Structures are given as structure tokens and as C-alpha cells.
Amino acid sequence: MFHVFKAFPNKINALWDVSIHIKKGEFVFLVGPTGAGKTTFLKLIYRGILPSKGQVIVDGVNLSRLKPSYVPFLRREIGVVFQDFKLLYNRSVFENVAFSLRVIGVKNAIIKKEVNEILNIIGLSHKKKTNPHLLSGGEQQKLCIARAVVSRPLILLTDEPTGNLDPETSWEIMKLLFKINIWGTTVIMASHDKLIVDKSQKRVIRLEQGKLVSDTMKGIYYKQ
């Protein structure tokens, strides 16, 4: 990101002159109080929104110049996990994960193999026929992660994935994210879970009122 500004009609400085470079394969925490611009930051990366000023470059592609018809192909390289899950409650666990492969035209045989593999990794293979609303919060979050990474994206964006979970389950989710990071996926995680950020010893980018206030390797939640 180079000198990125983002203004909304009801908020002038959602992001204010943010410049940052995240390398391939990194694990980055995005911290800051509510309204600091964390979600805006993530949306800019998957082109949910465009910057008001400045450039966002993902995998060598300048998103401001990306034609709308190419956006789907950018999205295939980026997995997104939301705090509110965004699961399809009229489909089974298996179908929820398979859905993200089906809509990009993957063959059935490959879908079956890939989905079973990822469900094994996250530990939900015994519940693949279950409806998501019968799962616990932690399991639903795992399912979201499975859906986001089943297509093996280059980047995984997670917005408060541990926001609604107890500490134990939260840490389980973190272990899963670390595992995904080790496979080579760049992980950017917005969080205000101080315990997890401090314990993880990863790069921490702190935003406050839309401005980048600190960027520390092996950082902790608060400014040092």
C-alpha cells in the first residue's frame, strides 16, 4: 500500500496516508481500537472497496487499475474469513466448503478430494453432513477458514476470527492459522485480542483513527 487514503460519506479519515509493505508468506496482526480502520484495510486488499487516493498493489497487480471483470480472478487468490462467519445455513458443512470451489468451476472429483482433505485438517470431517447451525462457534469459525483456504489462496484475510470465542478455542483457531501460514499463505489478521497478539510474537501493525501508528516485528498489542 502506498499513501492510501480512504474516505466514506460518513467518515472522512477511515484510512489516512497509510503506506506499508507486507511480504509473501508473512503473518501480520492488524490491531487497534474499534473504528481504527482495520476492516477498511482488509477490504482494500480484496477490492471490496477502492482507495480514495493512493495505490494498493496485490501480487504485482494495481487494484485501482484492475478491470471489474478481473476482480473474480483476484478473489480466487485471496481467502477471507469474517467474524460473523457468513456461512450458508441451508447447506451441509461439506457443501459450504465445496461451494467456493464449485463457483469457480472445479471438477467434482477434485472438489471431493480437496474438501475432504481440508475438513480432515481442521478436524470437522466427522461432521461433514451436519448443518452449520448445529456446530459450535469455534467449529463454525474453523469451517469459515476451511472455505477460505480450500482453493489454496496466496493470501488469507481474517477479520476478528477469535472475536466471539473462548480463549481455549481461540488458541485452537490460531494454531490452525499458523499452520496455514507455514504452508506459504500470507496471513493478515485483524484483531483486538491482546492475549493472542502478545503470545503469538508476530509482526504487529497498529492503526488508530485511520493512521498507521506503529509497525513492529515480533510486536505486542500496545505500542512499545
Partner 1 sequence: MIRNILFYIKEAFLSTKKNGIISLATIVCLTATLIIVGIFLIISLHINNFIANLESDLIAVAYLKDDLTQEEIGKLVQNTSSLEGVREVVYISKEEALQKLKEDLTEHEEILAGLPENPLPSSLEITVFEAGFLDEVSFQVNQFKGIEEVNYGGQLTKNLLIIFDFIRKTGLGIILILLFVSILIMFAVIKISVHSRQQEIEIMALVGATSWFIRWPFIIEGFLKGLLSSLISFFIIYKAYKFYLTQVKSLIPFISVNLEPDFILRIGITLLFLGVFIGIFGSMLSLRKISYEEL
Contact residues for partner 1, defined by CB under 8 A: 43, 46-50, 68-69, 71-76, 79-80, 86, 88, 90, 99-100, 102-105, 107-108, 147, 151
CB 45 within 8 A of CB 188: yes
In the complex, the smallest distance separating the C-beta of residue 138 from partner 1, rounded to whole angstroms, is 20
Nearer to partner 1, 151 or 185 (CB): 151
> Shortest Cβ distance from residue 206 to partner 1 (Å)?
25
Distances (CA, A) of 61 to 1, 67, 165, 175: 11, 11, 35, 30
Beta carbons within 10 angstroms of residue 197's beta carbon: 22
Q: For partner 1, which is the closer residue by CB, 69 or 224? A: 69
Rounded Cα gap, residues 189 and 182, in angstroms: 15
Q: What is the DSSP letter of 191?
A: -
Find the shortest distance in angstroms from Cβ 110 to partner 1.
Answer: 11
CB nearer partner 1, residue 107 or residue 112 = 107
Q: In angstroms, give the least distance from the CB of 87 to partner 1.
A: 8
Whether 153 contacts 76, CB under 8 Å: yes
Q: Please report which residue ranges of the chain form alpha helices under DSSP H.
A: 38-45, 71-75, 93-102, 108-122, 137-149, 167-182, 194-200
Q: Residue 83 or residue 200: which is nearer to partner 1 going by CB?
A: 83
The nearest distance, CB 8 to partner 1, in angstroms, is 10
Nearer Cβ to partner 1, position 129 or 218? 129
b/e 16-34 (16+ beta carbons within 10 angstroms → b) = bebeeebeeeebbbbbbee
Would you say 64 and 56 are in contact if contact means Cβ atoms under 8 Å apart?
yes
Choice between 15 and 212, CB closer to partner 1: 15
To partner 1, the closest distance from the beta carbon of 89 in angstroms equals 9
Nine-digit cell string for 115: 474438501
Cβ nearer to partner 1, comparing 30 with 87: 87
Q: Cβ of residue 144: shortest distance to partner 1, in angstroms?
A: 10
Phi, psi (degrees; rounded to nearest 5) at 149: -105, -5
